[in-house]
Amino acid sequence: MDTIVALGTPAGRSAIGVIRLSGPDSLSIVRSIVGDNHFKPPPSRSVLRSIRSNASDSILDRALLTYFPAPNSYTGDDVVEISCHGSPVIMRQVVDLTLRLGARPAGPGEFTLRALSNGKLNLSQAEAIRDLINAQTEAAAQQALGQMMGELSSRLQGPQQELIQTIVELESALEFVEDDLPGLRKQNIAGELAGVATVLLSLASTFEVGHLLRDGLRVTIVGRPNVGKSSLFNMLLAAERAIVTEVPGTTRDTLTERISLGGVPITLTDTAGVRDSTDRIESRGVERTRQAMAEADLLVVVIDGSEDLGAEDLSVLTLASSARHVIAINKSDVPAFDILEKSRSSFVTRSVNVSAVTGSGLDTLRAAILEPFGSVDSSNSGFLITDARHYDLLLRARAEVQASVDLLQGGVSEELVLVGLYNGLRFLGQITGETTNDEILSQIFATFCIGK
């Protein structure tokens, strides 16, 4: 096995930059760059040394070196972490030095892939590490942490063991004719397998909420000009991000920021007001608004509650009617505010009275944004399936087990019943990596960052 190297911290200037080596030559490479052939720091303890260029023997930097000998390291191989000053120039020099001494650049997620290969973790835990790094909210981080600690693997152990025990019993019945299963035992096995199918379906059903915490939602604010879209955008952000004036058409491009609603990461987009315009720049902004509407998971349609519904309002409502949307009737703080006409509109399905000036109704609007996607309570949701790959495999496993139950109840030969049980066990094994082929592993680890 060769030795790999990569930055363990993001590129750019920082106080500290970490360079990670993993492989059999990690320690010998470090000995060369510190100029000490007998250098061997105590395991898992940092030692301060000068890093030298092997060409001129000049000092490149003073760095902390931490040695993790195999198998007691993240990857299971010898690992050395070099914590130097976070100058891009210094880090590039140190990495180039290790490459000249025999290391090679790590591929995406290769450190974690080695940890998987060396039995330090399973595939679902490896994916959780990626999700933890990419988590956008505290709730998403907590879900990833639970999976990294092996909660998903633990929850799958029961169904896997139940399938294995049933397979052994049915295989024995086929192998030894005198051990044919009595009818009552077949009924009991069918009931036990039905319980496994129920457990798998119950676990898969958490994906509806789980994927929201991991992937988030795209929410786009739309409406005709001067109804308060940008003001509402700023209020939801709790920051003056968008320019707000009384001049219609102030917003001429889309603005996008990230917020968290109930633990769900939201990509919130403010858009140019939708109307016919001869202004070329404004017309381009309206085109981008239409594109943002098409890409959104939900639209917040803002209308002015202090004015009558106009043709431009109706045009926006028509555009939004075929998508998930919430109506925000703005300016509830204005004396002329009146929702009667708006409420009578055939376009209005779910409306919330808000004030982008006082903040009144914002909590109700936040709840309305999440409502179409199911009940989300990140503080009391327990363990959730957040990955679409896991969700798909759970459903496949459940379908195979249920098919075996139906065959068993129909009096079909144990040989046919076993096909579904073996398939179900294989699908569950693909979640944890026990039965996952190299092509799928390559696709999964391509989504990792280089230094992990």
DSSP result, 187-203: HHHHHHHHHHHHHHHHH
Choose among 54, 9, 6: nearest CA to 28. Answer: 54
pLDDT tens for residues 162-203? 999 999 888 887 776 555 666 667 788 889 999 999 999 999
Residue 84 three-state SS: strand
- The confidence score (pLDDT) of residue 202 equals 94
**Among 203, 188, 202, 95, which Cα is nearest to 147's?**
203
Q: How many CA atoms lie within 13 A of 179 on its CB side?
A: 10
Predicted local confidence at residue 405, as pLDDT: 93
Residues of the chain with CATH 3.30.1360.120: 4-106
Nearest to 281 by CA among 313, 250, 256: 250
Q: Judging by beta carbons within 10 Å of its beta carbon (0-12, 13-18, 19+), is residue 121 exposed, middle or buried?
A: buried
Q: What is the amino acid identity at position 193?
A: L
d(CA 452, CA 433): 18
Which of these CATH numbers, 3.40.50.720, 3.50.50.60, 3.40.50.300, 3.40.50.970, describes 216-377?
3.40.50.300
Is it true that domain 4-106 has CATH number 3.30.1360.120?
yes
126-206+385-445 fold: Four Helix Bundle (Hemerythrin (Met), subunit A) (1.20.120)
Short-list 32, 15, 3, CA closest to 84: 15
CATH 1.20.120.430 location in the chain: 126-206+385-445
The reported pLDDT for the residue numbered 218 is 93
Does an H or E element contain 74, and which? none
Which residue reads 């990955």 in tokens? 387
CATH 3.40.50.300 intervals, the chain? 216-377
Three-state secondary-structure class, residue 286: helix
DSSP, collapsed to helix, strand or coil, labels residue 51 as strand
Closest CA to 106 of 202, 10, 5, 190: 5
388-409 helix and 414-432 helix, angle to the nearest 10 degrees = 170
Predicted local confidence at residue 278, as pLDDT: 53
Amino acid 345: pLDDT: 60
Task: Spell out, as residue ranges, where the chain has pLDDT lower than 50.
Answer: 247
